[in-house]
Structure 1
Amino acid sequence: MKNFFQHIKFKYDIETCITLKHYSKEKQKLAKQKQRLIYLLTCRDYGLTPKHLTNTTIKLSQLFTTQRILNQVSKIEQKLHTKILNLEITQTNLTIKTIEKNIIHTNNKIKSILNEYEYKTFTTKQTYLFNSITAKTKLTHSSKIDKLKEKLVNQIGITFNEEWFVNKTDIEFPNEVKWLLSLGNKFALPITSTNFSPIHIIADIEQAIQSIEDDSEKDVSRSKIANKISDYKRRFKNTQKERFILKVHKTTTQFLNNHKNTIIVTKADKGNKTVIMYKKDYFDKMNTLLEDKNTYKTIRVDPTQKLQATNNTLVNELFKNEYIDRFQKNKLHCSASIAPRLYGLPKIHKPGLPLRPISSSMNVPCYSLSKYIGTVIRNIVSENYNIKNSFQLQEKLKDITLDDDDVMVSFDVISLFTNIPTYLAIKNILKEWNIIKDHTKIPKTKFLKLLEFCLRDNNYFQFDEKFYSQTYGMPMGNPLSPTVADIILDNLLDDTIEHLNKIGIKMKFIAKYVDDIFAIIKLKDIDTILNQLNSYHNKIQFTIENEHNNSLPYLDLLIHRENNQIIYNWYAKETASGRMINFHSNQPTKQKINTAQNFINKVLDLSDKRFETDNIRKIKTILKLNDYPNYIINNLFKSRTEKLKTNLNNNNNNNTITKSNNNTKKFFSVPYVPKLTDNRSLHQIIQKENISFAHKSNFTLKPIFTNTKSKIQKQQQHNVVYEIKCNGKKNENCDLVYIGQTKRNLATRLAEHEADIRKHKETTGLSQHITTSGHTVDFKNVTILDRERKLNTRLTLESLRIQQQIKRTMNTKEDTDSIKQSYAVAI
Structure 2
Amino acid sequence: MDRADYLQKMYSIVDTEDFKKISRDPTTTIQNKTNKIISTLVNQNILSKEAARSMKSYNSVSPRMYGNPKIHKENIPMRPIVSDVQGPTCKFSNYIAQILTEAYDQDNAYYVKDSFDFSSKINNFELPPDYVVISLDVVNLFGNISKELVLRAMEFHWNKIEAVCNISKEYFKEIITFLLESGYFMFDGSFYLQMFGCIMGSRLSPILSLYVMDYVLDSCIPRLTFTLAFIKKYVDDLIISLPSTGTEEILQVFNSFDPKLKFTIETEDCYNSVPFLDTKVCRVDNKVKLNWYRKTTSAGKFIHFLSDHPMSIKLNFIKEQKNRIYKICDPTFRDGSMKRLFDLLVENAYPKTMLKKLLYSTSMLPSTESQTQPDMVGETEVVKYRSIPNIPYLTYKIKNCFKDYNKKVKIVAQCKKKVANLYSKLKDPIPKEIKSNVVYELECTDCHETYVGQTSQWLRNRMNLHKSDIRTNNLRCALSVHANKYSHSVDFNNVKILDVNVNYKKRCILEMIHIQTQKSKINKKTDTQRLSPIYAYLIEFSNRPFFDGPVDG
TM-score by length of 1: 0.61
Structure 2 counterpart of 1:719, from 432, 437, 448: 437
Could you say if the C-alpha distance between residues 317 and 769 of structure 1 is closer, same or farther in structure 2, counting changes exceeding 3 Å? farther
| Aligned twin of 2:338 | 616
Aligned partners of 1:696, 1:468: CA distance in 2, in Å?
A: 37
Aligned counterparts of 1:822 and 1:657: Cα–Cα separation in 2? 38
Contact 2:478 2:524 (C-alpha < 8 Å) held by counterparts: yes
Q: What SS does the aligned partner of 1:667 have?
A: strand
How far, CA to CA, are the matches of 2:163 and 2:526 in structure 1?
A: 48
Matches within 5 A, 1:592-607: 592-607=314-329
Cross-structure match for 1:489? 213
Deviations 1:478-535, CA, capped at 9 Å, x for gaps: 11011111111100000112223xxx42111011000001111111222222111112
Distance across 2 between alignment mates of 1:694 and 1:415? 38
Note closer, same or farther for the CA distance 1:719–1:571 as it changes in structure 2 (3 Å cut): same
**Structure 2 residue 390 is matched with structure 1 residue 672:** yes
Matched, 1:472 2:193: no
Aligned residue pairs, count: 532
The match for 1:736 is 449
C-alpha contact 2:383 2:410 (8 A) present in aligned 1: yes
Query: How many Å separate the matches in 1 of 2:124 and 2:344?
Result: 33
CA contact (8 A) 1:804 1:824 kept: no
Q: Does the alignment pair 1:437 with 2:155?
A: no
Deviation, structure 1 residue 685:
6.2
Aligned to 1:776: 489
Matched, 1:307 2:30: yes
Rg (Cα) greater in structure: 1
**Matched ranges for 1:538-553 at <5 A:** 538-549=259-270, 550-553=272-275
Tell me if the contact between 2:83 and 2:201 (Cα under 8 Å) persists in the aligned partners.
yes
Residue pairs, 1:34-433, within 5 angstroms: 277-292=1-16, 294-382=17-105, 383-398=108-123, 400-433=125-158
User: 1:441 Cα deviation (Å)?
Assistant: 2.6
Contact 2:449/2:521 (8 A) holds in 1: yes
Check the 8 A contact 2:440/2:499 in 1, yes or no.
yes
CA deviations 1:370-416 (Å, max 9, x no partner) are: 11101112244342211011221122224631223101011100111
CA-to-aligned-CA distance 1:445-464 (integer Å, 9 cap, x gap): 4323321221112x111111
Q: 1:491 to 1:741 in 2, by over 3 A?
A: same
Greater RCO, CA 8 A, separation 6+: 1
Measure, in 2, the Cα distance between the counterparts of 1:409 and 1:684: 55
Contact 1:559-1:568 at 8 Å conserved across structures: yes
Q: CA deviation at 1:773?
A: 2.3
Does the CA-based 8 Å contact 1:739-1:801 persist in structure 2?
Answer: yes
Equivalent residues of 1:556, 1:572 under 8 A apart: yes
Cα RMSD, aligned residues only: 2.3
For residues 191-221 of structure 1, give each alpha carbon's deviation from its aligned partner in whole angstroms, at most 9, with x where no partner exists.
Answer: xxxxxxxxxxxxxxxxxxxxxxxxxxxxxxx
The residue type paired with residue 671 of structure 1 is P
Q: Are 2:501 and 1:788 equivalent residues in the alignment?
A: yes
Measure how far apart 1:687 and its partner are: 5.1
Give the equivalent residue in structure 2 for 1:634.
Answer: 356
- For the residue of structure 2 that corresponds to 1:462, the secondary structure is strand
SS in 2 for 1:580: coil
Please tell me whether the aligned partners of residues 81 and 199 of structure 2 are also in contact (alpha carbons under 8 angstroms): no
Q: 1:410 is paired with a residue of what secondary structure?
A: strand
Instruction: Find the aligned partners of 1:820 and 1:472 in 2 and give their Cα distance.
Output: 54
> How many Å separate the matches in 1 of 2:173 and 2:129?
49
After TM superposition, give the deviation of residue 691 of structure 1 in Å.
0.8
1:306 is displaced (CA, Å) by 1.7
The code of the aligned residue for 2:172 comes to: F
Q: Which amino acid aligns with 1:768?
A: V
SS of 1:552's equivalent? strand
Structure 1's 822 and 350: CA in aligned 2 closer, same or farther, altered over 3 A? Answer: closer
Partner of 1:243: none
CA 1:776 to 1:492, structure 2 compared with 1: closer, same or farther past 3 Å? same
Q: What TM-score, normalized to structure 2?
A: 0.90
Q: Say which of 386, 391, 412 aligns to 1:694.
A: 412
Residues 1:584 and 1:716: Cα distance change in structure 2 (over 3 Å) = farther
CA drift of 1:760 comes to: 2.1
Which AA in structure 2 matches 1:385?
Answer: Y
Cα deviation for residue 365 of structure 1 reads 0.8
Matched residue of 1:438: which SS? coil
In structure 2, stretches of 5+ residues that fail to align are 540-553
Q: Secondary structure at the match of 1:575?
A: coil
The 3 A distance-change label for structure 1 pair 312 and 573 is same
Deviation of 1:538 after TM superposition, in Å, equals: 0.6
- Give the SS at the match of 2:522: coil
Deviation track 1:40-76 (CA, whole Å, cap 9, x = no partner) reads xxxxxxxxxxxxxxxxxxxxxxxxxxxxxxxxxxxxx
SS at match of 2:411: strand
Distance of 1:798 and 1:392 partners within structure 2: 47
Offset at residue 289 of structure 1 (A): 2.1
How far did residue 621 of structure 1 move? 1.6
Return closer, same or farther for 1:351/1:369 CA change in 2, 3 Å cut-off.
same
- Evaluate the alpha carbon distance shift between residue 580 and residue 376 of structure 1 in structure 2; reply closer, same or farther with a 3 A threshold: same
| Contact 1:377–1:429 (CA under 8 A) maintained in structure 2 | no
- Report the counterpart of residue 515 of structure 1 in structure 2: 236
Distance 2:47 2:373 in 1: 44
Other-structure match for 2:538: 826
Go from structure 1 to structure 2 and tell me whether the alpha carbon gap of 1:492 and 1:659 turns closer, same or farther (over 3 Å shift). closer
CA-CA distance at 1:438 after TM superposition: 2.5
- Of 413, 417, 421, which aligns to 1:703? 421
Give the conservation status (yes or no) of the 8 Å contact 1:381–1:490: no
Aligned-partner residue type, residue 440 of structure 1: C
Counterpart of 1:323 in structure 2: which amino acid? I
How big is each residue's C-alpha offset from its partner over 1:424-444, in whole Å with a ceiling of 9 and x where there is no partner?
Answer: 212321343333222123333
- Structure with more of its chain in helix, by fraction: 1
Which deviates further from its counterpart, 807-816 or 532-541?
A: 807-816
Secondary structure of the corresponding residue to residue 669 of structure 1: strand
Whole-Å separation in 1 of the counterparts to 2:373 and 2:56: 48
Shift of the 687–820 alpha-carbon distance from structure 1 to 2, 3 Å rule, reads farther
